[in-house]
Amino acid sequence: MAGVPFDQLQGEIWYNGSFVPWADATLHVLTHGLHYASAVFEGQRSYSGKVFKLEEHTARLRTSAHILGFEIPYTDDTLNAVTVELLQRQDLVDAYIRPIAWRGSEMMGVSAQNNTINVAIAAWPWPSYFDPEQRLKGIRLDMAEYRRPDPRTAPCRSKAAGLYMICTLSKHAAEQKGFADALMLDWRGQVAEATGANVFFVKDGVIHTPTPDCFLDGITRRTVIDLAKRRGLQIIERAILPDEMAEFEQCFLTGTAAEVTPVSQIGPYQFTVGEIARTLMEDYEKLVNGRPNLDIAAE
């Protein structure tokens, strides 16, 4: 599928209650979700034919919609069932899944309480989010210009489409400089996250990670925290200032797309791909593929 535009892929997409041909899953140019970002989405991965933490992702999709003031017109059970069926119909085993819900085109303007809520789910093969060779060596991050906003100015606990505009801008700017991604600070100037993944640091065997008070507490983030605790590792969630990065020895990102990805550089700060990052990357890979590490307690 390399180089093929996403609107030209083959197969089916579940769209408002039916499986439709991929090319027919379209919307009107005057859709409210396009103009005003009244859309929420999820990113999910299937490993060895099973979607990892499907129920948690579906529940978060519903919560995100509720925060944006609309309700998804399908039950969680329905969405979960059609996701499983979609993978079967697409003949996919290892895949990326994208559910999305958005306000339709009945009203065009800021106010759109009566618009139809549309829901679609697509799935396609998608290997490593970052270059595999870079990932093993540790990816390089630039420092983003834009910052995560104050929770009083944006619905930061929703996985809402509009919140990713500054992520796209930041990642584009980083890639133009030869970096793989960018690290974003929050409105206070504290370390927040990468453009689509949470961040962790290691110092003296202790893992430090920013408190998710203005960005998503990722499902993968929580999973990796649990894996680390089962390893007997100490986790400290706290405010982290940028200049503290000079003292950290290791760094890694977590996310559904990023999985567990070591980081070798953030701006002027250098890190090693150490044992803790490598161990958690291996533990996560085993967990999502249904092969829990026998050295740690079962989930």
Q: Which residues are catalytic?
A: 159
- Minimal CA–CA distance to 242: which of 207, 275, 199, 181? 199
If you ran DSSP here, which 8-state letter would residue 156 be given?
T
Q: How far apart are CA 287 and CA 69, in angstroms?
A: 35
The β-bridge partners of 250 are: 202
Backbone angles phi, psi at 255, to 5 degrees: 180, 165
- Minimal CA–CA distance to 261: which of 138, 142, 96? 138
Q: How far apart are CA 41 and CA 26, in angstroms?
A: 16
Q: How far apart are CA 274 and CA 233, in angstroms?
A: 14
Burial of 172 (0-12, 13-18, 19+ CB in 10 A): exposed
Q: How far apart are CA 298 and CA 293, in angstroms?
A: 8
Reduced to 3 states (helix: H, G, I; strand: E, B; else coil), residue 18 is strand
Amino acid identity, residue 294?
Answer: L
